[in-house]
Each structure stands twice: as C-alpha cells, then as structure tokens.
Structure 1
Amino acid sequence: MFIVSFPYALLQGGYWTLLSITVVAAICTHTSRIIVKCLYEDDACGNQVRVRRSYVDIANRVWGPNFGGVLLTLAQVIELFMTCILYILVSGELLHGCFRSRDISLATWTVISTVPLLPCVFLQSIRRVSYLSFWCTVTHMIINVIIVVYCFTQVSRWHWDQMPVEINIWEFPISLGIIVFSYTSQIFVPTLEGSMRDPKRFTRVLYCTHISATVIKSLFAYVCFLTWGKETMEVITNNLKQPGFKIAVDLVLVLKALLSYPLPYFATVEIIEQECLNPQSPFCIPSCINDQRKLKPWTVVIRVLLVIASMLLAVFLPHFSTLMGLVGSFTGTMLSLVCPCYFYLHIHGGRLYWYEKLVNWVILFLGVAVGGTGMYYSGLALHHAMNDNPSLITTVNITELGY
C-alpha cells in the first residue's frame, strides 16, 4: 500500500526522494543477499552448505539461543502481525471512503473486510501463499497502469516547474521511512530462498525484482507528482476527482490489500509454530498437524483467533497506526538494515576485505540513524495524536500507509 504515498514523498523531498528510492533499493538488495550468505558455511572441502534455516537460526549463532532467538522471534512477530493489522485497517478505510453515503461505520467496514481473510487459517504451504502474492502483484500492476495512463492523458497540464529542490525537514524523514519499509523483505528471504527449486538463482531473482521495483516506484511517483504538483495528496487516489473512477481504483486497492495479507499472516503463524514446536522451548506444544497432514482442530481455532485479534486491534485501538509506525521504525530498520550487516560481519567478517567491512558498517550506522529519526517523528506524531492535535493528521496518514 505504500506506493500510493510515494508521489507525496516527492512533494517533501523532490529529486532527493528519487535518489533515496534508488539508494535504499541497492542497500536492501545487499542486506537480503548477505542474510542468505549467513545461512551457509564452508564444509571441509570448501563447499557452501546450508546449515541454518531461518533468520532466528542466524541470531542464535551470533547472540546465543537464550537471547538471540527470543529477540529476533519477538521482533519478527511484532512487525509481521502489525503488517497484518495494517492491511485490514487500510481495507476498512478504503471501503468506508468508497461508500461513505451508505451510513456504515468504519468499524463495520473493517469487520466486513476481514471476512474474506478467514480462509487464510488453512494455509500450510509457501507455494499457495506465493500464488496469492502473484495475484497481489497483478492487482498492483493494474493500479499502476490505470493511474499512470490517466496521468499521461493529463500531460499537457503537467507541473514541470513545481518539483522541489529543498527538503521538508519535518516530513521527509517519515517519507524516507516509507521508502525503507517498502523494500523490507529480509524476514522472508530465508524461507523463499530455501523453497526455490534452484537456490543458486536467488541472487539473480533478487536483482531483477529490486531493479524492476525501483523503476516502477520512481516512474509512478514522478509521473503522478507532475500531474498534480503541489496539490498532491498523502494518498494519490484522493487526487482523482471523478467519483466512479476513484471508487473503482480504491476497490482494486482493497483487493490488493486483502491479497497482501496472507504472506505476513503465514509467516507469523510459521514463526510461532516453529518456536512452540521446538523441544527446547518453554512453550513447547504438540504437533499442529495430524497423520493425514491436516491441521488439528485446536490449531485451526488458534489461527482463527489470530485473524480475529488482528481485526479487533484494527477496530478498537484509535491511534494504533501511529503506534505501529513507532514500533515499525525500530523493528523495520533493525531487521532490514542493522541486523543483517551485524550478523554478516560477525559470521563471515574474518574473510572479508576491508572495503566490504566498511560498506557493511556504513549501512549499519545508517540504519541506526534512520530508525532513530523515524522513531522520534513517529513518537512525536503519537504524542500529538493522543492529545487530539489535528496538525499531525498528515503525518499519521503517511506513517500508517508507509509501514
């Protein structure tokens, strides 16, 4: 959902935003690649052998199982579960905006948008999740094409002279956070690489996806900004004035949000079940799957409760999106920028050249700076939101869509 706020990010940073999109993509490609390298060790013959399965296994290797595993598991579950809540929240808000005249409350639309997500409790394979993610990508491309084509129909009215050169120091840090979070895939990297038929092609896939994402995001943001200039809103679909056209686009966005939900939901369930099924875990429970490879009834109940919990938090916590931005500024940058570089330096640092070490240390400190800045501005927005200060409404909306 973050891409709909990219044009507004250009309003805050101009060409610096476009540069940030490219630089962040390059950094996140690097951190995803080194996370995969941390899964492997050299055997006695010098061959690469996959000795770890997950991000948590890497943390256990560096920090020990009593601290590393618990910390990384907690951070991953928080980030993934909050992402699930965000998709439900955004779906409800979009439906409420489309049918505001029906006199149905936002809470009711949030509940309605959750109903199609209940079948997610039966997901057991990353392959099925990937099918849903594929159709999520299709709807994503449909939105891009529709809006970009509309923008090109307005080319005679483009605002070439309104692209800012300076940076809005108060809002650009949050826009930068949107850009960083839009590339966060490090949590899923070990599972995706391990599920490939030919893991050796993972690096090629990583480069192709990040390059294409950078081109699409930059083109979308630039074209949309030229179309509306300084009138660009936080959510670019709000700039569409034709009611029927806007409703159609928002409904496709709802479909995209709902199709985005299964991946973080499945990852959350998988992490929790793996941790609980670990014999060394104090929360060890019996297997969740019976002899016929089907989920046990109590497992289905727990998964349903997880969906309901994400819905209730989206409905009843009034400033949850801002709080999520605060927590996400920490977990997102730590899991995507700081931890990969730190783990890589710890595990393979003895074999790296000095310039490779320097690159990873620079990214590590950059992640700390971006995370700290995002936490400050998100915390400021949360403080004002809790005190019902309307001047921070713009910041709150950007934060919730960015994360």
Structure 2
Amino acid sequence: MPIYVPATSGGFGIERVVGGIFVLGLPYALLHSGYSGLFLIILTAMFCCYTGKILIACLYEENEDGQLVRVRDTYEDIANACCKKLFPRLGGIVVSVTQVMELIMTCILYLVVSGNLLSHSFPHVPMTEKTWSVIAFVTLLPCVFIKTLKIISKLSQLCSLVHFIIIFVVITYCLTQIHQWSWTRFRFSIEFENFLVSIGVIIFSYTSQIFLPTLEGNMKNPGEFNCMLNWTHFFACVFKTAFAVTAFLTWGEETKEVVTDNLPSFLQTLVNLCLLAKALLSYPLPFFAAAEIVNACISKGNHFGNCAPLFGLVLRGSLLFLTLLMAMCIPHFALLMGLTGSITGAAMTFLLPSLFHLKLKWEKLVLLEKCADISVFILGFLCSLAGLVCSIKGLLEAFGGS
C-alpha cells in the first residue's frame, strides 16, 4: 500500500538529499575550481532539475484520449522499456547495478567521513582514521536487522535536524570572520585535473534521481512535482553557493577536504560529533535501499522458502562488511566523492535520463528538446570520463604518497 505524502514533504525530502553531508566538500571543490566552481554549482542544479523532470516524463504515456497515464513505476521499468526489443531486461540490470554502486559508495563515504571526524575530534587518542572507521562501523551493525522503512524515516528526521544545526554553526562562525574575507582568494585560472575532480564532487552533491520515481508516485498531487523540483533545486543551489562561498572566503587556500576540520578546536569537536551523528543516522537509508535492490535481483525467479529470512540477513551482513572493507581501502573523502560523482552520479543524473527520454519520446519531442537532451548527454559523458580519469589518478597519487 503506497504512502502518500504532500508536495511540501516531497520537496523537503529532495532538499535533504541534495543538501546533505556531502555539501561539506563544496568549499574544497571551490579551492580547485575558483569562479568556475560557482558557475558549475548553478549549472549542475539546472541540469539536475531538468533531467529529473524528463525522467519522470518517461513514466507516462498518452492513452487514446490524449491523457497522460503512469504506465511505469521505477527507474528500472523505464530502462527495460527502452531495451525491450533487443534485450528486455538488460536496461533494468544496468540501472540496478548503477544504483547499487551509488548507494554502496554513499555508505562507504559515510564510514570514511566518520573516521575522519572521530580522528579530528580526539586528536590525542593514538588511533588512525581507519581504526576510528571500524569503531563507527560497529555502531552500524544493527542495520542488518532493519526490514522496513519505518525506523529509517524516524532516523531521517533526526538527521535533518542535526544537519541544519551543523550548517548554522559553520555559517555563523564564518560570518564572524567576515573582516578577513577577500575575493582575491577566488582564482580565474584553474588546475585542470583538480577542476575535473571538483566536477564530480559538485555532481555527487546533487544526485537524487534514483529516488524521484518513488517520490513522485507517493505524492498526493503528482501534478505538483515539477513545481516542487524547481523550488527545491533553486533553494539547494542558493544554499550550496552561499555555504561554499562563505566557507572558502573564510579559509581560502587552507580549506580542507571536510570543511569542518578548519574550525577552531572549541567548535570543531562539537560540530564533528554532530556530523558523526548525522553520518551514522544517514547510513541506514542508502544501505537499506541497496540491500533491497540486490535482494530483489537475486530472489527473482528463485524460491528460498523458509531460508529467505536467513538469506536476507546474510546478504545485509555481507553488504555491511563490504562497505567497511572499501572504506579501509580508499580513505580519501573528496577523491572518493569525486570518483562516485563521475561514475554513478553522472550516469544516473545526466546520461541515462537524457538517453531514455530521447528513446521513449523521440517522435513527440520538438527540435529544441532533442538538442537539449543530446547536449546534456554529451556534456555528462565528457564530464564523467574526464572526472573518472582524474579521480583515479588522484587516488593513485594519494596512495603512492602515503
């Protein structure tokens, strides 16, 4: 039975997704991209809003009376509809794999940032960030027993409250340092490779397309979806720009990967512990979603009978330990965020929505709409390819120097 939510609630959910903990990487992105980074934050918001709309448009077809009817329910349904003539299930498999990759990478990022936050909160304790990540992981072990969204929804409410407290504290401190601000800290020249990594960071901070079909289907008035998407991306863009600019103007060249590391010690510990709470409260949602997708794919066509509960427990436990293993292997927050944004973020946000829209709606699109979709696809592909290469190179250099 679907849970219907008003448009305002849906908007709040999207705003929370596009303005989550990964906004803390935006000031660091500005460090490497200068004024072009500000332009990218705005441009990415516009593109994400557009691709969100065309993705939802792919859920609908006109009936004999010319009325739009929702004939598809999920991102996978859209993909399967595009591939049904040649490979009926290939599109859904590709989307499912991409979704799981993005969700798992998000979980890994939460563990990485948790280790970073604990390390900087207790600098006198002789433990590495990896050890702190393991400690954070232990607190997440109960996630293997989560079977419904009821618990996650309560955790998400607490997560949103903590998020606004953190951002308020950081911006308030930055405003107290306004006398030190200098616009000369922004550069017109950029380091091309670092700039491309920044693109991945910015894209990943906006990714929300995988949630949109479910959200639109659960809205009380789906006709308000486009309006909701416009306003949430507008406010998210304004907020992210303001936050990134104030933080970068405050710390300039000293801006760190996780901007809260720049705060003075009397605030840093408090904010970092709040951020830790937010990261741990945020982890269950992408973890649960990833486990559900993998479970649905494996269970399809198979009958586990009485072993199904045990299988689900083993699956969730395996995914949980996978995120820990990956967090141990790649403990670099900004580079991992850029890599994820370049691969799954660009694919789910730019490439697939534009490709699916062209495939399903080609005959009904006007020339301008076709050009817009093709432009988004090409731009998304180039950004994804370049960001992928530079993020991997950055990770290799980071490992080589460690």
What percent identity do the matched residue pairs reach? 41
- The answer on 1:262 being equivalent to 2:262 is no
Closer, same or farther: CA 106–12 of 1 in aligned 2, 3 Å: closer
Contact map agreement 2:330 2:336 (CA 8 A) in 1: no
Contact 1:314 1:320 in 2 (8 A): no
Q: Is 2:27 aligned against 1:7?
A: yes
**Which of 273, 284, 298 matches 1:276?**
298
1:48 is aligned with what amino acid? L
* Structure 1: distance between partners of 2:333 and 2:41: 27
CA distance in 2, matches of 1:117, 1:199: 35
Query: Match for residue 161 of structure 1?
Result: 184
Following superposition, the deviation at residue 286 of structure 1 comes to 3.8
The structure-2 alpha-carbon separation of the partners of 1:109 and 1:187, relative to structure 1 and needing over 3 Å to count, comes to same
Q: Which residue of 2 aligns with 1:357?
A: 370
| Matched position secondary structure for 2:190 | coil
Deviation of the 1:257 alpha carbon: 1.2
Change in 2 beyond 3 A, CA 1:192/1:2:
same
CA deviations 1:290-347 (Å, max 9, x no partner) are xxxxx83442343233223322332356789857754652222111101100100110
The one-letter code of the counterpart of 2:300 is: N
Residue 128 of structure 1 deviates from its aligned partner by: 4.4
User: Is residue 2:381 matched to residue 1:368?
Assistant: yes
2:266 matched residue in structure 1: 244
Number of the residue aligned with 1:389: 401
Measured after TM superposition, the shift of residue 17 of structure 1 is 1.2
- In the alignment, the residues of structure 1 paired with residue 322 and residue 255 of structure 2 have an alpha-carbon distance, to the nearest angstrom, of 35
The answer as to whether partners of 1:276 and 1:285 remain within 8 angstroms in 2 is no
Matches within 5 A, 1:74-85: 74-85=97-108
The separation in 2 between residues aligned to 1:320 and 1:106, in whole angstroms, is: 11
Q: What is the deviation of 1:227?
A: 1.6
| Alignment match, 2:144 | 121
Structure 2 length as normaliser, TM-score? Answer: 0.86
Name the residue aligned to 1:70: 93
Output the CA distance in 2 between the equivalents of 1:6 and 1:14: 11
Quote how far apart the aligned CAs of 1:164 are: 1.7
Aligned residue identity for 2:31: L
Q: Which residue of 1 aligns with 2:215?
A: 192
1:3-402 correspondence runs (5 A): 3-64=23-84, 65-126=88-149, 128-240=151-263, 242-279=264-301, 284-286=302-304, 296-316=309-329, 325-326=338-339, 328-386=341-399, 388-389=400-401
Say if 1:85 and 1:311, in contact at 8 Å, map to a contact too: yes
Letter aligned with residue 168 of structure 1:
E
Q: 1:147 to 1:372 in 2, by over 3 A?
A: same
Partner-residue secondary structure (3-state), 1:53: coil
Q: Offset at 1:234?
A: 2.8
TM-score relative to the length of structure 1:
0.86
Distance 2:282 2:270 in 1: 19
Whole-Å separation in 2 of the counterparts to 1:324 and 1:137: 21
Distance in 2 between residues matched to 1:125 and 1:215, nearest whole Å: 34
- Conserved in 2, the CA contact under 8 Å of 1:7 and 1:224? yes
Q: What number of residue pairs does the alignment pair up? A: 379
Question: Which ranges of structure 2 fall in alignment gaps of 5 or more residues?
Answer: 1-20
- Provide closer, same or farther for how the CA distance between residues 186 and 127 of structure 1 changes in structure 2, counting only shifts above 3 A: farther
Tell me the CA shift for residue 275 of structure 1: 2.0
AA aligned to 2:194 is: E
- Taking a change above 3 Å as real, the CA distance of residues 114 and 238 of structure 1, as seen in their structure-2 partners, is same
Unaligned runs of 5+ residues in structure 1 are 290-294, 391-403
Q: 2: distance between equivalents of 1:321 and 1:179?
A: 10
AA matched with 2:114? S
For residues 174 and 273 of structure 1, the distance between their equivalents in structure 2, rounded to whole angstroms, comes to: 33
Tell me the distance in 1 between the aligned counterparts of 2:370 and 2:306.
43
Contact 1:135 1:259 in 2 (8 A): yes
Q: Which amino acid aligns with 2:355?
A: Y
SS at match of 2:193: coil
2 CA distance for matches of 1:319 and 1:167? 22
How far apart, CA to CA, are the structure 2 residues paired with 1:173 and 1:364? 17
Shift of 1:362: 0.6
Which amino acid counterpart does residue 364 of structure 2 have in structure 1? R
Q: Distance in 1 between matches of 2:48 and 2:306?
A: 34
AA in 2 matched with 1:218: T
1:249 Cα deviation (Å)? 1.2
C-alpha distance in 1 between matches for 2:240 and 2:345: 20
User: What's the offset of the Cα at 1:52?
Assistant: 1.5
> CA separation in 1, counterparts of 2:224 and 2:35?
34
